[in-house]
Amino acid sequence: MIMKKHSLSKKLFIRAMKSIPGGVNSPVRAFRAVGGNPLFIDRAKGSRIFDADGNSYIDYVLSWGPMILGHAHPRVVSAIKKAAEKGTSYGAPTALEVELAELVLKVYPSMDKVRMVNSGTEATMSAIRAARGFTGRDKAVKFEGCYHGHADGLLVRAGSGATTFGVPDSPGVPKSYAQNTITLPFNDIPALKRLMEKEWKKIACVIIEPVVGNIGCVLPKPGFLETLRKLTKKYGVVLIFDEVMTGFRVSFGGAQAYYGIKPDLTCLGIVIGGGLPVGAYGGKKEIMAMVSPEGPVYQAGTLSGNPLAMTAGIETIRELSRPGVYRTIEQRSAMLENGLRDAAKKAGVKTRFYRAGSMFCTYFTDADVTDYASAKKADTGKFGRFFSGMLERGVNLAPSQYEAGFMSLSHSERDIESTVKAAYETIKNI
Ligand code: KE4
């Protein structure tokens, strides 16, 4: 195997570290969990990304989920170009925001109203604020390993980069903030029941990733989400589904459609911006009526509903709503799952592979992964060697055992065959 050249990425990284903390604008990109220097990307098209040195990779990060159609989709790119010629931001309402809002409400019938923001973090922190304003209660419940963005109160036992870097309880978050966040083990119904029976009067909301994509890919046990819905309804606690990652990913209607659970509020992001910065939160009209200027709960954003981002989101969702799109993505995802399982088995290496729709994760462990504690038992050293071996063989995976991988409509069967071949060659030498 000819080792790839990364000299330009290396030069850029050295330069970047002089002006940007850690040389990156988001920690997980720094390759700290897998070793080596991060790739600096020059361009992308379809299923592939190309780094500064011209190396090409089949990409399963897809910008952490948004590029579900594949990179630089012609319809999305030309629509953004046209929108840009009309100006890039007005700070005033536009028809585009109404169009995207109506599209989202059509696909997510649990949502009566939706507010656009600029990131998943803004979506979740605003949803929690609306729930607190609606109930008059202070506490928010989250699950260990779930990552809902970096708002202070949510960096408690958080997943994603917070777990990768061993700061699930980040310094800089005052104890008083963290005191209003209660964490539970994911999939632990008895713990959930005990907490709700004892503390419901203080609990404004429960926020959950219905499929936990920020410790890899952890599925809800049968009955867990249903029990959560029953208990939150019983005690008047607002149930927030953080579908920033699972929305349009686990199915067109997200995890709520996939599992048949109707949350009170939903947070979206990633796919609904088509790669441009968009987050959204919405749900029951009586809760959303609390949000300013309709109600007293303040939330704002200079670039919220930005015309370019709205255009990218509208075109992406229109493409996704075409017949057969999710069938194709499902077929490709299942083909990859079967291939990766076979590769590990043939190589005689114990792994666990989990998938929900077109998000997935390979854990290097020989025990089931059902929550944060069991995910933490995975062999991150082995994962690091897997990641590097795959990169050298032209496959780009998320640079951490505690992240999910994603499939796009543009991944061909040939891409998947090459990925599986690379996986077997990598795993057998691990
Ligand atoms: P942003 O604020 O990064 O747009 O979204 C935060 C967020 C909220 N909720 C869920 C379920 C999420 O997955 C995320 C962001 N996900 C990570 C990937 N694990 C973003 C990658 C990064 O931090 O660079």
Q: Which domains does the chain have, with CATH numbers?
A: 7-72+323-427 (3.90.1150.10), 74-320 (3.40.640.10)
Cβ of 243 less than 6 Å from ligand 1: no
How far does residue 259's CA lie from ligand 1's centre (Å)?
22
Q: Please determine, for residue 170, whether its predicted confidence score (pLDDT) is greater than 90.
A: no
Query: Which of 60, 63, 121 has most ligand 1 atoms within 8 Å of CB, for mutation?
Result: 121
Cβ of 246 less than 6 Å from ligand 1: no
User: 45: which 2 tokens?
Assistant: 């098209």
Question: Which residue has the least CA distance to atom 24 on ligand 1?
Answer: 26
pLDDT tens-digit readout, 197-207: 999 999 999 99
Distance CA 246, CA 424 (A): 28
The count of C-alpha atoms lying within 13 angstroms of the C-alpha of 265, restricted to the half-sphere facing its C-beta, is 33
Q: Give pLDDT, residue 405.
A: 98
Q: Give pLDDT, residue 166.
A: 64
**Tokens 């319809």, residue?**
75
The answer to whether the Cα torsion of 382, 29, 118, 318 is positive or negative is negative
Cβ of 38 less than 6 Å from ligand 1: no
Which range (98-112, 169-183, 352-366, 406-420) has the least confidence?
169-183
pLDDT tier at 133, thresholds 50, 70, 90: very high
Distance CA 103, CA 317 (A): 8
Higher pLDDT, 176 or 347: 347
Q: Please determine, for residue 386, whether its predicted confidence score (pLDDT) is greater than 80.
A: yes
**What pTM was estimated for this model as a whole?**
0.97
Q: Please determine, for residue 53, whether its predicted confidence score (pLDDT) is greater than 70.
A: yes
User: 106: which 2 tokens?
Assistant: 């059509």
Q: Please determine, for residue 168, whether its predicted confidence score (pLDDT) is greater than 70.
A: no
How far does residue 65's CA lie from ligand 1's centre (Å)?
9
Q: Give pLDDT, residue 163.
A: 74
Q: At what angle do helices 307-320 and 325-347 cross, to 10 degrees?
A: 80
Buried b (16+ CB within 10 A) or exposed e, 162-184: bbbbeebebeebeeeebebbbbb
Q: Give pLDDT, residue 44.
A: 98
pLDDT tier at 169, thresholds 50, 70, 90: confident
DSSP strands (E only) in 197-264: 203-208, 238-242
- Rounded-to-5 percentages of helix, strand, coil across the chain: 45, 15, 40
Q: Please determine, for residue 339, whether its predicted confidence score (pLDDT) is greater than 80.
A: yes
Q: Say if CB 68 and CB 411 are below 8 A apart.
A: no
How far does residue 60's CA lie from ligand 1's centre (Å)?
16
Q: Which of helix, strand or coil describes residue 356?
A: strand
Q: Say if CB 33 and CB 43 are below 8 A apart.
A: no
Long-range contact set of residues 190-196: C-beta below 8 Å, sequence gap at least 24: 192/227, 192/228, 192/231, 193/227, 193/231, 195/141, 196/231, 196/232, 196/234, 196/235, 196/237
pLDDT tens-digit readout, 230-252: 999 999 999 999 999 999 999 99
Q: Say if CB 284 and CB 241 are below 8 A apart.
A: no
DSSP strands (E only) in 4-94: 41-45, 48-51, 56-59
